[in-house]
């Protein structure tokens, strides 16, 4: 793995909210490298700092200190405008609550990042159709979000994340609002994308979702407490295995 | 990111809330429409006053008698005698003087009466019969409709001839031709020489309930040879009326032996200064109407701010999504600003249409006169209002932090 070029390279990332007196340290020195093509699950209880980490990886927020290289671009000191550009070009977001624009067709939703990238209408349409085809929704591209099921909405969101061919797909609890059937549909989609060579970072607190990934990183109190590859000893969690009474 | 896309997003945003957009537009519509209509009404009433004064003759000065003040009495030192000296024919003739009154073109002495006219059983009380010289007609802007005017010969020989106004003609003769007919004026037979063109009513008075006869004839049979009621003076041009007024004042002051400080026993009425006064009055009126309308436009603008603020709050999540997907601040700012400007421009365009339709009707007895500048101004102001009142909410939207915006429920 070490031979591959890293997509994400975090070095001693710290994030502090608030003033000196009652400062909250959300991240206390996180270092992490994600090579191209990796499939990583970031796990942790609420308050562990995983949302903060996801915001920083997603360039929605900047770290207080530390160094962040995204695709060889140093992003920790970028301006708002430059961060918007990086988000547009390098990151495809998938959110827990889908976050599609209401009253807007699936096709228009998928086109949206391309609009901000300045892609022309014809090219945009072509690429958005291809992305929707990839997630198996070419039949429903003219439907609006309220006319689609949760699973379908999330697949539209995945298509939207894919359409700009980003360096990184960042999914924040992508199955959190889905039933088990839709969940496995969406996770099958991520698995397929991984096999196609995409770099995927999943934020989740569900073990069975994290099991899809190649690598699991556990956060606690703003620090990485474990970083394990699929198949290694202790993969995912002992407690999980015990609780469910069955080994993988 | 092209401007067309910003426009498309803005339009979609407006369409998403049609009723709200329509009501916000209404505020601007009313404001712009009111500016155009009320300025047109102000302008129309000004034009109406101007037209009325034009009908009376803009070169016209009227000299009439007036009770003198204390100064006049003291200076004349006549004790028991009446303080008001008569305006005489000699006074009138003294006004045509190329040396002392170079700005006076002509004068016409006037005596008035209100006699009863009878013709073939029909009776009509003439509101004003003027005994005067032929110059009166040109000075006061009367045109002959049929027949001819009175002549200097008629005056010199005191012929019993009369020129009648349209109201008098219709009342006495109906549809028949009055020219050459004999009418009885207070039982004295007069020959109708001509009729006057209608001037229409100005205010409460019917200007056409009017007749003109030679001065000498009227003095003979109706008014007697006392004081003149009036001297009508025609200045050489509309611009020379003020100079003419001063010349008349100085000639009559010396003829009536008045001291410079005494209040005069005559009064010179200048139509031109009347016109100036009335046009400044209507100007004030127009400005006031425009100001009222401008306030309603301002209120409409505040309505846009209000609605855009609500919209931005409501669509915080959408803004968060757009930002997460890489919309730069300028794109968000542009989208909401264009939304606000579209609201105000649509309102402005409809307001112009409403204003133009409104000015086709007579408003409070005034025929509005459209001022093209007011249309351009109201429309431009409505666009600026969109920019100005939209910039605060749009800026608020652009400054939203993507994480907070995404968390917004």
DSSP for B169-233 reads HHHHHTTS--TT-EEEETTEEEEEEEEEPP--EETTEETTSEEEEEHHHHIIIII-SS--SEEEE
In this predicted structure, the answer to whether residue B165 has a pLDDT above a threshold of 60 is: yes
3-class DSSP assignment, residue B348: helix
- Indicate whether this complex's ipTM tops 0.85: yes
In this predicted structure, the answer to whether residue B145 has a pLDDT above a threshold of 50 is: yes
Average pLDDT over residues B80-88: 59
What is the Cα–Cα distance from B406 to A172, expressed in whole angstroms? 12
Tell me, yes or no, if B276 comes closer than 8 A to chain A by beta carbon.
no
Instruction: Summarize pLDDT for A162-188 with one digit per residue, the tens.
Output: 999 999 999 999 998 899 999 999 999
Distance, in angstroms, between B291 CA and closest chain A CA? 42
Strands A215-220 and A39-43: parallel
| Confidence bin at A235 (pLDDT 50/70/90) | low
Say whether B325 and A95 touch across the interface (CB within 8 A).
Answer: no
On chain B, the residues whose CB falls within 8 A of the CB of A80 are 328-329
What is the Cα–Cα distance from B387 to B395, expressed in whole angstroms? 11
3-class DSSP assignment, residue B81: coil
Say whether A93 and B317 touch across the interface (CB within 8 A).
Answer: no
What is the Cα–Cα distance from A32 to B74, expressed in whole angstroms? 114
Average per-residue pLDDT for chain B: 83
Between B5, B330, B402, which is nearest A60 by CB? B402
Position B108 scores a pLDDT of: 87
Average pLDDT over residues A182-202: 93
Strands A223-229 and B60-65: unpaired
Position B100 scores a pLDDT of: 82
Reference B300, options B33, B27, B32, B19; nearest CA is B27
Say whether A80 and B317 touch across the interface (CB within 8 A).
Answer: no
Between A60, A115, A117, which is nearest B324 by CB? A60
3-class DSSP assignment, residue B74: helix
Between A61, A112, A118, which is nearest B325 by CB? A112
Q: Which residue of A has its CA nearest to B401?
A: A60
Q: Are A211 and A194 in contact (CB under 8 A)?
A: no
3-class DSSP assignment, residue A1: coil
| Confidence bin at A205 (pLDDT 50/70/90) | confident
Strands A200-204 and A39-43: parallel
| A23, burial (CB in 10 Å: exposed 0-12, middle 13-18, buried 19+) | exposed
DSSP A63: -
Task: Tell me, rounded to whole angstroms, the distance of Cα B89 from its chain centroid.
Answer: 36
Position A4 scores a pLDDT of: 67
Q: Are B91 and B252 in contact (CB under 8 A)?
A: yes
Residue A244 CB contacts under 8 Å (≥ 6 apart), including other chains: none
Q: What is the dihedral of CA B163, B164, B165, B167, to 10 degrees?
A: -170
CA atoms within 13 A on the CB side of A144: 5
Strands A200-204 and A168-172: parallel
All structural domains of chain A: 37-59+79-244 (3.40.50.300)
Say whether A88 and B323 touch across the interface (CB within 8 A).
Answer: no
Position B201 scores a pLDDT of: 63
Say whether B321 and A101 touch across the interface (CB within 8 A).
Answer: yes
At residue B185, what are phi and psi to the nearest 5 degrees? -110, 110
In this predicted structure, the answer to whether residue B78 has a pLDDT above a threshold of 60 is: no
Residue B344 CB contacts under 8 Å (≥ 6 apart), including other chains: B28, B300, B301, B304, B382, B383, B385, B386, B389, B390
Task: Count other C-beta atoms under 10 Å from residue B95's C-beta.
Answer: 22
Tell me, yes or no, if B11 comes closer than 8 A to chain A by beta carbon.
no
On chain A, the residues whose CB falls within 8 A of the CB of B317 are 99
Instruction: Summarize pLDDT for A112-167 with one digit per residue, the tens.
Output: 999 999 899 999 999 999 999 999 998 999 999 999 999 999 999 999 999 999 99
DSSP A4: S
Position A247 scores a pLDDT of: 41
């Amino acid at each position: 793995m070490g031979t591959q070029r890293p997509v994400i390279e975090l070095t001693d990332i710290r994030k502090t909210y608030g003033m000196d007196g009652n400062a909250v340290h959300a991240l206390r020195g996180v270092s992490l490298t994600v090579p191209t093509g990796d499939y990583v699950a970031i796990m942790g209880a609420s308050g562990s700092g995983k949302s903060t980490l996801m915001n920083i990886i997603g360039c929605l927020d900047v770290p207080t200190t530390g160094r962040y290289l995204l695709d060889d671009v140093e992003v920790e000191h970028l301006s708002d405008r430059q961060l918007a550009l990086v988000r547009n070009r390098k990151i495809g977001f998938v959110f827990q609550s889908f976050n599609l624009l209401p009253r807007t067709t699936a096709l228009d939703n998928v086109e949206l990042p391309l609009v901000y990238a300045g892609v022309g209408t014809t090219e945009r349409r072509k690429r958005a159709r291809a992305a929707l085809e990839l997630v198996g929704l070419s039949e429903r591209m003219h439907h609006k979000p309220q006319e689609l099921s949760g699973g379908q909405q999330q697949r539209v969101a995945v298509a939207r994340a894919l359409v700009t061919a980003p360096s990184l797909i960042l999914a924040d609890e992508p199955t959190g609002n889905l039933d088990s059937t839709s969940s496995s549909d969406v996770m099958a989609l991520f698995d397929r994308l991984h096999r196609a060579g995409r770099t995927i970072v999943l934020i989740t607190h569900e073990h069975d979702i994290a099991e899809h990934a190649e690598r699991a990183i556990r956060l606690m109190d703003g620090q990485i407490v474990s970083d394990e590859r699929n198949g290694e000893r202790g993969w995912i969690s002992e407690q999980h295995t015990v609780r469910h009474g069955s080994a993988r | 990111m092209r401007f067309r896309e910003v426009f498309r997003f803005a339009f979609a945003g407006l369409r998403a809330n049609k009723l709200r957009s329509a009501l916000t537009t209404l505020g601007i519509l009313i404001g712009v429409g009111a500016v155009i209509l009320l300025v047109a009404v102000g302008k129309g009433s000004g034009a109406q006053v101007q037209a009325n004064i034009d009908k009376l003759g803009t070169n016209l000065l009227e000299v009439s008698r007036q009770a003198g003040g204390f100064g006049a009495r003291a200076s004349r030192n006549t004790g028991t005698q009446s303080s008001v000296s008569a305006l005489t024919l000699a006074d009138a003739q003294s006004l045509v003087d190329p040396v002392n009154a170079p700005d006076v073109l002509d004068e016409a002495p006037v005596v008035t009466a209100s006699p009863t006219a009878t013709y073939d059983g029909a009776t009509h009380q003439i509101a004003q019969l003027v005994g005067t010289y032929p110059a009166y007609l040109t000075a006061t802007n009367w045109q002959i409709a049929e027949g001819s005017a009175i002549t200097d010969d008629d005056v010199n020989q005191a012929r019993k001839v009369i020129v009648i106004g349209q109201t008098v003609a219709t009342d006495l003769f109906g549809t028949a031709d009055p020219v050459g007919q004999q009418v009885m004026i207070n039982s004295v037979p007069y020959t109708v020489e001509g009729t006057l063109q209608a001037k229409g009513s100005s205010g409460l008075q019917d200007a056409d309930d009017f007749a003109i006869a030679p001065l000498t004839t009227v003095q003979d049979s109706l008014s007697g040879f006392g004081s003149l009621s009036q001297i009508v003076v025609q200045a050489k041009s509309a611009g020379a009326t003020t100079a003419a007024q001063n010349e008349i004042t100085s000639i009559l002051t010396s003829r009536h032996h008045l001291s410079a400080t005494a209040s005069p026993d005559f009064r010179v009425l200048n139509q031109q200064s009347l016109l100036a006064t009335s046009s400044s009055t209507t100007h004030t009126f127009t400005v006031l109407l425009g100001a009222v309308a401008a306030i309603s436009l301002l209120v409409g603008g505040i309505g846009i701010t209000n609605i855009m603020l609500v919209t931005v709050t409501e669509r915080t999540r959408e803004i968060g999504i757009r930002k997460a997907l890489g919309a730069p601040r300028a794109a968000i700012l542009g989208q909401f600003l264009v939304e606000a400007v579209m609201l105000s421009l649509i309102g402005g365009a409809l307001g112009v249409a409403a204003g133009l339709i409104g000015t086709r009707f007579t408003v409070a007895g005034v025929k509005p006169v459209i001022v093209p500048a007011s249309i351009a101004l109201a429309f431009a102001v409505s666009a600026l209002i969109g920019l100005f009142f939209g910039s605060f909410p749009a800026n608020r939207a652009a400054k939203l932090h993507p994480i907070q915006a995404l968390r917004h429920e």
